[in-house]
Amino acid sequence: MNIPADLKYTKTHEWAQFTGEGKAKVGITDFAQDSLGSLVFVNLPEPGDEVACGESFGDVESVKAVSELVCPFSGTVEAINEELLDAPEKINEEPYDAWLIEVSDIGDSEELMNAEEYADFCDEENA
């Protein structure tokens, strides 16, 4: 299981990478893509949309099920990774390169885990 040390993690298996100036990129983790299986669709918000802390900003769909994407902080969608809309498999292949959205003006944030804490959290989920 790949868990990069420089990212922050949520209990709903998203990762966040803070890029400075109140901005962050959000994606789903290796654990998430592995348990979802091969993804076939991604629904993302529009740039300019507001996202709320702990609420859904889109979803990913595998042949098994649709799963909501949860944003760990509030803010404005600065950019979306449009490439994924045509190639959702990139999330399976490179979950940490395949960022979903970039959020600016970050406000409220839920408590995020570091890599070590997230690794323990995944072990518990797997137990």
Partner 1 sequence: MKLLFEKSVEGCALSILPELDVPEYRLSEGALRLKAPKLPQLSETDIDRHYSELERRAFGVNNGFYPLGSCTMKYNPRVNEAIAALPGFTQVHPLQPSDTVSGCLEVLKLAGGELCEITGMDAMTFQPAAGAHGELTGVMLIKKYHEARGDFSRDKIIVPDSAHGTNPATAAMCGMKVINVPSGADGCVDLGRLRAVLGPDTAGLMLTNPNTVGIFDRNILEITNLVHEAGGLNYYDGANLNAIMGVVRPGDMGFDCVHLNLHKTFSTPHGGGGPGAGAVGCKGFLAPYLPNGYGEDRPESIGRVKAFYGNFLVVVRALAYLLMLGREGVTLAAQMAVLNANYMKKRLAECYAVSHEGICMHEFVVTLEREAKERHVTAMDVAKALLDKGIHPPTMYFPLIVHEALMIEPTETESKETLDLACEAFLEVYRDCMAAETPSQHPLTTVIRRPDEVRAARESKLIYKF
The interface mask with partner 1, positions 74-93, x = CB under 8 A, is --------------xx----
The interface mask with partner 1, positions 16-55, x = CB under 8 A, is ---------------------xx-xx--------------
Of 55 and 120, nearer to partner 1 (C-beta) is: 55
Residue 7 vs residues 12, 20, 38, 40, 126: alpha-carbon distances, Å: 15, 13, 23, 25, 21
CA distance 23 to 126: 32
CA distance 92 to 77: 23
Shortest distance, position 53 Cβ to partner 1, whole Å? 16
Task: Figure out which of the listed residues 22, 65, 97, 108 binds partner 1, where binding follows CB under 8 A.
Answer: 65
- Contact call for residue 1 and partner 1 (CB under 8 A): no
Give the count of residues interacting with partner 1 (CB under 8 A).
Answer: 11
- Locate 39 and state its tokens: 């993804």
Please work out, in degrees rounded to the nearest 5, the angle formed at the alpha carbon of residue 20 by the alpha carbons of 19 and 23.
70
CA distance 121 to 96: 18
Return residues touching partner 1 (CB under 8 A): 37-38, 40-41, 63-66, 88-89, 126
